[in-house]
Structures are given as structure tokens and as C-alpha cells.
């Protein structure tokens, strides 16, 4: 078993499709190990996306991520990191395959509905950023 960190981003919560995304998470075989709705501050979003600090889209990305509540999750499944990224689809919804979450619910590369960790190290950092050990038992 493996765990990954996921976000249902503010655009998806605003569009009221969070429930559909959660239903898909369950029907695809993930176990939800932890879940919380939070409205990130700009500084919290900046800390989360620290690896992208030098990128030109950093300001817009952290404004967007702090623009409204999002839902943070710990998902568990065999090969969860890869499996969740496959279910999300390409970063740009226009390039995402049919049947993926970003194709179905994303509007653009900066409003792309979901986030997923990209490696075991980032999953550990991101889960620790949002959840206390007690919540992840």
C-alpha cells in the first residue's frame, strides 16, 4: 500500500463538483485516510508550492490556491501516487485524456481542479504540511 496527498482545488469546490470528484476517488478504489476543508492563506499556499517559487506563474498560482476553500486528502491504494496522477490527467486540462478529472472538471492550466504529489518524498512533505500524525493513523 502507498499513500499520496491530494487537493480538490478552490475552482472545483466553487463549481460544486467536489462531491463528484470524491465519488470518483472512491469508485476508483482509493481509501480516504484523512480529509479536511481549509481556506489557505497566501503565505500557506506559498509554503506549499515553495518548489515553484522562481516560476513565472508562482504569484498567480498562490493567489488562486488562497482564493477560496479547498479540500485536502490523504489517499491510499496500491501505487497510489502514480494511480492518482493518472486519474487527474495532464496538468493542462486541454491536454488531459478523456475520462480524467482535469479533462472533466478543469477549465485551464491554472484552474485545473486537483493536485497530486509527484513522488514519495513530495507526498511525505505534503502530507506532513497539512495533517498531524494523529490524523493519519
Query: Would you say the C-alpha torsion 80, 82, 85, 86 has a positive or negative sign?
Result: negative
Q: Which is nearer to ligand ATP, 116 or 127 (CB)?
A: 116
Longest dimension (CA), the chain: 39
Q: Quickly list DSSP for 75-91.
A: EEETTHHHHHHHHH--S
Among candidates 119, 114, 118, which has minimal Cα distance to 24? 114
Is 52 annotated as catalytic? Answer: no
Catalytic residue among 80, 89, 115, 130: 115
Closest residue to ligand ATP: CB criterion = 91
At its nearest, how many Å lie between ligand ATP and the CB of residue 135?
21
Region from 34-42, 65-73, 114-122, 129-137 binding Mg ion, contact rule CB under 5 A: 114-122
Our CB check for ligand ATP shows the closer of 33 and 62 to be 62
Residues designated as active site: 115
Amino acid at each position: 500500500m502507498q499513500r499520496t496527498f491530494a487537493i480538490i482545488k478552490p475552482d472545483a469546490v466553487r463549481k460544486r463538483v467536489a462531491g463528484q470528484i470524491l465519488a470518483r476517488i472512491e469508485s476508483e478504489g482509493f481509501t480516504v485516510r484523512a480529509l479536511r476543508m481549509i481556506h489557505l492563506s497566501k503565505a500557506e499556499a506559498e509554503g506549499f508550492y515553495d518548489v515553484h517559487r522562481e516560476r513565472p506563474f508562482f504569484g498567480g498560482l498562490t493567489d488562486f490556491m488562497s482564493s477560496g476553500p479547498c479540500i485536502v486528502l490523504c489517499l491510499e491504494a496500491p501505487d497510489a501516487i502514480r494511480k492518482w496522477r493518472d486519474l487527474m490527467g495532464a496538468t493542462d486540462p486541454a491536454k488531459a485524456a478523456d475520462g480524467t478529472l482535469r479533462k472533466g472538471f478543469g477549465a485551464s492550466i491554472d484552474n485545473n481542479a486537483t493536485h497530486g504529489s509527484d513522488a514519495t518524498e513530495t507526498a511525505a512533505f505534503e502530507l506532513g504540511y497539512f495533517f498531524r500524525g494523529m490524523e493519519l493513523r
